[in-house]
Structure 1
Amino acid sequence: MSPRTAAGLFVLMVVLWGVNWPVMKVGLDYIPPFHFALLRMTLGAVTMFAVAALAGELRLPVRQDWPIVLSIGLIQMGTFMVLSLLGLRFVGSGRAAILAYTTPLWVLPLSVWVLKERLSGGKIAGFVLGLAGVAVLFNPVGFDWGDRRVLLGNGLLLLGAALWALQIVHVRTHRWVGTPLSLLPWQQTVAVLLLAPLAIMFEPNATIRWTPESIAILAYNGPLTSGLCFWILLTVTRALPAVTTSIGSLATPLVGMLAGAWWLGEPLSATNTGGLALIGGAVAMLVLSEAWSRRA
């Protein structure tokens, strides 16, 4: 794949994932969160099984890869997805996207603790800048600390980001045998096996409103954002520099915030805008510091 084609696909992925935050927000009006996550992962798994088969990479994972299959399936695709949808019930889609993308901040202390990585001045500065961004998001002037529902929603989103960071550390330590594409359908299947009993347990009398809009939302979340976008991510990372994809992905919460403002009328508050700017700058600084350290 040429760099130009890869860049075009990467931009498409960022837009699709960013727009999906307000799409999921609207989808919760039709589908309860646990069933939403279950249907999304099921459709995504079916799509990726087909993609892996067409690419000649559909095979059972070897024993060495099952820990990472379970880790990604249970944490990133199962738990993170549910926590994001639960948080979206009480938080605007733009703010939810920003909180979800604080994940790189929490990777840093975990990497120091678990992987014994050394802290450079750039990484420390980036982490402090990121914490300042989180502080801006939760400043008393722009955040209602007296609303328990808002507190719960924001807490669930931050918990999801922290768990995703834990899973990323596991990815860094795992010795891969199978390719990411060959493992992805099985990871999504693990997520489905986790979400199915949770949906039955927590939403036994769930009512799904089947309308053209809800079907379109599921089609967007399943084959597109859980199928096509994952394939794009796996593909472009081989054609573009890691620094480019890491920093470029910061456009996702920006797209989510702008899409929420345009579609749902969510205000572009100074709190969210300032927090996103600081967190985005922090993540960019962390990525560049990591790149410089590797070159050195």
Structure 2
Amino acid sequence: MDKTFDRLPRTGLILLAAITLGWGLNWPVMKIVLSEVPPLSFRGSCLFLGGVGMLAIAHFSGQGVRIPRGRLPAMLLLTLFNIVGWNVLAIYGVSLLSSGRAALLGYTMPLWGVLLSAWLLGERLDRRRLAGLGLGLTGVVFLMGDGVALFRAAPAGALCMLGAAFSWALGVVLLKRLPLGMPAAALTGWMMLLGSLPMLLVAGVFEWPRLHIPSLWPALGLVYNVLVAFMFCYWAWNRIVLMVPVSVSSLSSLATPLIGVLGGMLILGERPGWHEGVAALCILGAIACVSLAQRPGTKAP
């Protein structure tokens, strides 16, 4: 288990930077994959392969992979919100919205995460974290720009992404509330593997006629999802969640939609504007509030 800190240590900051790039760039990549691969088949297959890969890494590196006795119900609950709820709702949301706008709605997660952590975990919302929340949400609003009108035109997509954000936030809080005492690699592997099974089952019933071998770029997108977005980023995210309070990990994730929007501009041809510049400053300020600054006299436990 990772030691708990009040702010992100150096290792956490390195992992956060890698997650920001890995997950941020994956939003436009998902749009490319979805052009040829049905949504549940896409996410289910990536989760299954990623879960098997993570459990293999945990096993051959000498870590335990067994779920502790009596903890299977907790594992299933964590899987429901962290994996199934987030991935199913997010993949349908991104299919109905532009990749950048879907990322922005998905990363309203910190709002829900901070509120749920105060309610369910009793985490203290000091001025530093409240300032980070305010700056981060201001950045997301600026990044949305005129996207609100687009959300009104696609309410199902917007609701899917908001539901995904809430599911992820609740899953993160439960990960702290229901500790399983497992290495991060094994925990990640089991959640991905168990979460993939209902998706693949439903995909086998409803999406089978639409399956075919994808062309080069969607195929490379699948590989990217398995190796980077799932195996590495999920493992790194669980490490961060176990390191720090939920309010810190949640707000620290706010840089990811910024990369998602920039990635959409580079890969899908969208053009940046002044909204993105203001949003970048706000989001970087939010991360600084919860990850870098520390009140004088305060020590990490």
Identify which of 92, 101, 109 aligns with 2:98: 92
Tell me if structure 2 keeps the 8 A contact 1:243–1:291. Answer: no
2:243 equivalent to 1:229? no
* 1:3-35 Cα shifts (integer Å, max 9, x gaps): 999876764443222221111111000101111
- Give the superposition deviation at 1:214: 2.6
* 1:216-257 Cα shifts (integer Å, max 9, x gaps): 2211111332123344556789999x9998776544333222
Amino acid at match of 1:112: A
Instruction: Go from structure 1 to structure 2 and tell me whether the alpha carbon gap of 1:11 and 1:169 turns closer, same or farther (over 3 Å shift).
Output: closer
Instruction: Go from structure 1 to structure 2 and tell me whether the alpha carbon gap of 1:164 and 1:6 turns closer, same or farther (over 3 Å shift).
Output: closer
Tell me if structure 2 keeps the 8 A contact 1:38–1:195. Answer: yes
Q: Which runs of 5+ in 2 are unaligned?
A: 1-8
SS at match of 2:149: coil
Aligned counterpart, 1:218: 222
Q: What pairs with 1:45-124 in structure 2 (closer than 5 Å)?
A: 45-124=51-130
Instruction: Go from structure 1 to structure 2 and tell me whether the alpha carbon gap of 1:43 and 1:14 turns closer, same or farther (over 3 Å shift).
Output: same
How many residues are treated as equivalent by the alignment? 291
Q: Distance in 1 between matches of 2:76 and 2:295?
A: 29
Normalised by the size of structure 2, how large is the TM-score? Answer: 0.79
Q: Distance in 2 between matches of 1:246 and 1:153?
A: 22
Tell me if structure 2 keeps the 8 A contact 1:32–1:208. Answer: no
Amino acid at match of 1:69: M
Q: Distance in 2 between matches of 1:169 and 1:17?
A: 20
Q: Which runs of 5+ in 1 are unaligned?
A: none
Instruction: Go from structure 1 to structure 2 and tell me whether the alpha carbon gap of 1:201 and 1:178 turns closer, same or farther (over 3 Å shift).
Output: same
Tell me if structure 2 keeps the 8 A contact 1:98–1:253. Answer: yes
When structure 1 is superposed on structure 2, of 280-289 and 34-43 the one drifting more is: 280-289
Identity of aligned residues (%): 32
Q: Distance in 1 between matches of 2:88 and 2:264?
A: 20
How much is the aligned-residue C-alpha RMSD, in angstroms? 3.7
2:266 equivalent to 1:262? yes
Q: Distance in 2 between matches of 1:196 and 1:28?
A: 16
- Give the superposition deviation at 1:48: 1.0
Normalised by the size of structure 1, how large is the TM-score? Answer: 0.80
Tell me if structure 2 keeps the 8 A contact 1:68–1:171. Answer: no
Tell me if structure 1 keeps the 8 A contact 2:129–2:247. Answer: no
